[in-house]
Every structure is written in C-alpha cells, then in structure tokens.
Amino acid sequence: MAVRKKEGPSFMALQKQLNSELKEEQFRRVYLLYGDQDYLRVQNRDRLKKALLGDGDEMNLHVYSGADTDISAVIDQAETLPFFADRRVIVLDNTGILGKSGPGSSDQGDTLAAYLPNAPETTHFVISEGSVDKRKKLYKAIEKEGLILPCENLDEETIARWTLSLFRREQLSISPELLGYFLELTGSDMFNIHMEADKLCAFCHGRNMITEKDIRAVCSLHLQDRIFEMIDAIVAKRPERALEIYMDLLALQTKPQPILALMQRQFNLLLQVRELMDLRMNENEIAERTGQKPYHIRKRYMPTASRYGRQVLIAALEDCIKADQEYKSGRITDQIAVEMVIVRQSQRKK
C-alpha cells in the first residue's frame, strides 16, 4: 500500500503565521510567494515591502523583474549596508529563477541558494513567482532560511467569504445563491473577482441589495457563458444571433476548436439534465449528479433542456463529434466546423 504524501499547512494557516510575524516584527531572511493567484502574491509582496522598510524610504528597496535578471548584480546589491535604515529589501518579481526553465536555469538559482545563508542580517529578500520547481536548490534553501507562502488552490468557501467581504465593505447585501452565480461568471481569479465586484458596487451605489439583473448588466461573461448564450440562440432557431456571438468570440482571439469543445460539453450536459428530468429528479439531485450548481441547473440547464427532445440533443452531440472529426481529418477548417454545427442545429426541428 502506497504511503500518502503528507500535505503542508494550508494557505490560510501560513497567511495567519505571516500576519502574526509581521505584527511582532519577526522578520525572516527570505520570503517566497508563489502560485497562480496573482492578487495574493501582489498584496503580500507589497505588505512585506512596507513592513520590512518600516519608516525608511525606498532608497533601500531594489526591485528586479524579468528573465534577464543578473543574480550576481543582485548579490552585489545585497552586500551593501542599508542607508540610514535597519534593513535593505530586495524584491525578485517573476524572474523565473525558480521555474523549470528561466534565467540561467540552475546556475543563477544555485548561486543565490548558496549565498542566502551568508547574506547580511540587514538584507531581506522577497521573491514572487507564478510557478516554482520544488526540486531546485534555491527552493530548499528558502525552506530552511525563510517562509514560503503558496498563493494558490483556495477552496470555494474561502473565495466566497472574501468576495462577500468586498460587498459588505460597500454596505451591499447579496444572497448566497446570487453570490454563487457571480463567482460562476467571474471564475476564481481574485484580481478578476475584485475588478468585477468594484464594477458591481459602483453600479449598485445608493442601494443595499444586489440583484441578478445587476450582475448580468455589469459583469463580463466568461467564455462558457457566451457559449451557452450561443446555444440558447441555436435552440431558439436564431442562427443569425448564434453566428453573431461566434464572430464576437473570434474577434476576441478565441480559437474555434475550444469553442467546439465547449459546445460539445454543453450539449452533453443538456442531454444529462434532460434524461434526469425525465426521471423526475429535482434540481438539487440533478446538480449532484452532474457536478453543477443548483442555481445554474434551475436557471440555465433545465429551461433549455426542456425545449429540446432527447433525440435532438443526441443529434446535436453527434453533430459536434462529426464536425470535430472532419476538422481533425483536414476536410474542413476549425472555423467552418463550428459554423456547420450552428447552421445544422438551428435548422433542425425541435
């Protein structure tokens, strides 16, 4: 029996630890912030800069970014004593030094790894990277000398609580159901959530409750929502509208093949929902079976599925598969493959 690998502390536990240490002014020699949540990396990077610099100005702050960063120059700067301050702060921002490839790949990272234990106590490093290779010597050196904060993989509940706090700060209320809908539109990227929440708060200024109409009026639809809007137009036998949405997606540099793949996925979901509806299952049971939100099952999938017969949905799914095969065999282009499905399904009888 394989031994399960022990997971490290959660982001929230490490964030609380960092907050406590900064409050007590217990500073580490080096901090690593990594992960796909750029919002958390930027927020913590800026907090660290402010805490480490204290009352001093930015004369003792040095920021290096990009793959052309020269670690020998960084080390030279690290050796310089701070000017009329307690600490010198060096920020390495998206240099790729901890990635699988990057500036000098191993050499530069290994050089910094060897230097960290010998760096002056007055010099502190803040390293921010989108992704890291945990096998690198530099990563292991940071584990020993500092604190690593993985800004990624936040659970849905944590994202929801944080988003709710953005609205409460503006004295706005939102139901749990609509909060789920809002997050379905925005995705889990916290920068995008913050931007869309700001737009929504401004739109609802002077009121105390957010409605579905407000969200749809303000928030940018994700690709999946545009695809479903296109499918709705197909169901309503409005090929002109469906093609208009498709052309909008192409204008936004969306490739036809992922559009076709999402269309196939949506028709497959609609077929599942239709079959479960035929078995007299309610929205919560269907949501559990399909892995979707109950709100979306009730508001999106059930109304559309009810307008389609089971055989028509099977035919739509088969159309997507056939178009994909014809494109991959080189008989048609990927753009024509999508257009073919739109036209065929818009002309098909209900």
**Residues 55-107: tens digit of each pLDDT:** 767 899 999 988 788 999 999 999 999 998 999 999 999 888 997 544 445 67
Provide the sign of the torsion angle of the four alpha carbons 178, 194, 186, 251, taken in this order. positive
Rounded Cα distance, 37 and 189, in Å: 6
Rounded Cα distance, 125 and 103, in Å: 18
Cβ neighbourhood burial of 300 (10 Å; 0-12, 13-18, 19+): buried
Examine the pLDDT at 9 and tell me if it is beyond 90. Answer: no
Rounded Cα distance, 194 and 159, in Å: 11
pLDDT of residue 91: 96
Examine the pLDDT at 300 and tell me if it is beyond 90. Answer: no
* Residue whose pair of structure tokens reads 């930015």 in the numeric block: 58
Rounded Cα distance, 141 and 98, in Å: 12
Sort strands 61-65 and 88-93 into parallel, antiparallel or unpaired.
Answer: parallel
pLDDT of residue 106: 61
Rounded Cα distance, 318 and 327, in Å: 14
Please, what is the average pLDDT of the chain?
87
Chain centre to alpha carbon of residue 78: 34
**Residues 217-246: tens digit of each pLDDT:** 888 666 677 888 888 888 778 889 999 988
Average pLDDT of the segment spanning 304-311: 84
Residue 97 near residue 69, CB atoms below 8 Å: yes
Examine the pLDDT at 5 and tell me if it is beyond 50. Answer: no
- Cβ neighbors of 73 (< 8 A, separation 6 or more) are 64
Examine the pLDDT at 1 and tell me if it is beyond 70. Answer: no
Which domains are present in the chain? 11-150 (3.40.50.300), 156-218 (1.10.8.60), 223-347 (1.20.272.10)
Average pLDDT of the segment spanning 241-265: 83
**Residues 148-161: tens digit of each pLDDT:** 999 987 888 899 99
